[in-house]
Amino acid sequence: MPQLVDGPVRVSVPATSANLGPGFDALGLALRLRDELEAEVVPSGLTIDVTGEGADAVPRDETHLVVRAMRAAFDQMGARPPGLRLWCRNVIPHSRGLGSSSAAIVAGVTLARGLVAGGGLLMDDDQVLALAADLEGHPDNVAPAFLGGFVISGHDDDGWYATRAAVDPRVSVVVFVPPDPVATEVARGLLPAQVPHADAAANAGRAALLVAALAGRPELLHRATRDLLHQDQREPAMPASLALVRALRAEGHPAVVSGAGPTVLVFTDGPVHPVADWSTGPRELLARCPGGWAAHHLEVDTRGAVVTG
């Protein structure tokens, strides 16, 4: 049985936005809004302390998502800690389409690997991604949460795959976060079982264009973020979000629903050097935040899960 390490292990994990318009279940972006967690092996029992987002709602037992991910990783490595202490400082909003569950899963697997002596040999990065994707059910959030940056991911007969792609340093995002959550299961339940071939082809072309736009052609982001497969279909669960997306897009902003929603994400540039023909800059966008919502201007986070101790 592997040896467990003494002392705490700390990790931080970024928020993520999946889909980005046309890249349904395939494209994801890490954002500089990070949860911080610490775990330690103790002689017995399970202690969980949570502050920040979700502190009043998340369980404090074995059903806590971070703990479930840790247990799955320990099982894969053949480790049996006698007890655990977990501390979470949550910043990522829950059930808003910013990857809070993926951050929890990636954090849990990463913490468990760090708590096992030689954990990096027992579970390499590909195995971390595979386990995280198995637990989440799809890779588009867990992949950028673990790897950072802009990630293309999916599943085929050979299993899960994920690869990073370039992001122009001018690109940042503004996110508008509504006060009420939408469960991912509810949002996915609104999707049709089949889509027209023409819509699928159009989305495939725009997803490919989005990769090029993010890499160095940000003036193409408005065209590249048009979606036909999932955003309008989810409108009954988030009408205010879709109304904001349409209003912003009508003005030329590359606005999308972030993940399963209801957060709205808008690609923009930094506050110092606005690019006039595709963005009016984040300050003007931030002023568009609906009453009762929260708005954040966030950089793309090139770091994924970072073990800090």
What pLDDT sits at residue 187? Answer: 84
Instruction: Give the pair of three-digit tokens for residue 52.
Output: 């920040």
Query: At 30, phi and psi to the nearest 5?
Result: -85, 140
Region 44-48: mean pLDDT is 98
To the question of whether residue 172 is assigned a binding role by annotation, the answer is: no
Q: Could you tell me what percent of the chain has a pLDDT over 70? A: 96
Nearest Cα neighbor of 220 from 211, 233, 228, 229 is 211
Q: Which of 185, 145, 146, 172 is nearest to 299 (CA)?
A: 172
Q: Which residues contact 190 (CB under 8 A, 6 or more apart)?
A: 233, 234, 236, 237
Is there a binding annotation on residue 101?
A: yes
> Does the pLDDT of residue 179 top 50, yes or no?
yes
Q: How many CA atoms lie within 13 A of 31 on its CB side?
A: 28
pLDDT in tens, 73-113: 999 999 999 999 999 999 999 999 999 999 999 999 999 99
Q: What confidence score (pLDDT) does residue 272 get?
A: 33
For the segment 288-306, the average pLDDT, to the nearest whole number, is 94
Q: Where are the domains of the chain?
A: 9-165+302-307, 171-299
Average pLDDT over residues 249-277: 80
Percent of the residues in the chain that have a pLDDT greater than 90, as a whole number: 87
Is pLDDT above 70 for 38?
yes
Three-state secondary-structure class, residue 215: helix
Residue 279 — very low, low, confident or very high, per pLDDT cuts 50/70/90? Answer: very low
CA distance 97 to 309: 29
Question: For residue 280, what pLDDT band results from cuts at 50, 70 and 90?
Answer: very low
pLDDT band at 281 (very low <50, low <70, confident <90, very high): low
Give the lowest-confidence range in 54-68, 149-163, 273-287: 273-287
**Of 54-68, 151-165, 181-195, the least confident:** 181-195
Q: Model pTM?
A: 0.94
52 is in an annotated binding site: no
Provide the pLDDT for residue 9.
97
Q: In this structure, are residues 150 and 165 in contact, taking their beta carbons and an 8 Å threshold?
A: yes
Q: Is residue 103 a known part of a binding site? A: yes
Overall fold of domain 171-299: Alpha-Beta Plaits (3.30.70)
Res. 277 pLDDT band, cuts 50 70 90: very low
Is 242 marked as a binding-site residue? no
Has residue 29 got a pLDDT over 90? yes
Confidence of residue 192 (pLDDT cuts 50, 70, 90): confident
Residue 295 confidence (pLDDT) above 90:
yes
First to last CA, the chain: 23
DSSP state of 237: G
> Does 98 carry a binding-site annotation?
yes
Report whether 96 belongs to an annotated binding site: yes
Identify the bridge partners of residue 45 per DSSP, sorted by sequence position.
83
- Tokens 């994924």, residue located: 304
pLDDT band at residue 166, thresholds of 50, 70 and 90? very high
Domain made up of 9-165+302-307: CATH architecture: 2-Layer Sandwich (3.30)
Task: Over range 37-53, report the average pLDDT.
Answer: 97
Q: Are 288 and 264 in contact (CB under 8 A)?
A: no
Average pLDDT over residues 258-283: 69
- Residue found by looking up tokens 């994707």 in the block: 133
DSSP state of 78: T
Comparing CA positions, the residue from 283, 245, 288 lying closest to residue 263 is 245
The string of pLDDT tens digits covering residues 207-253 is 999 999 999 999 999 999 999 999 999 999 999 999 999 999 999 99
Q: Whole-number mean pLDDT of the chain?
A: 93
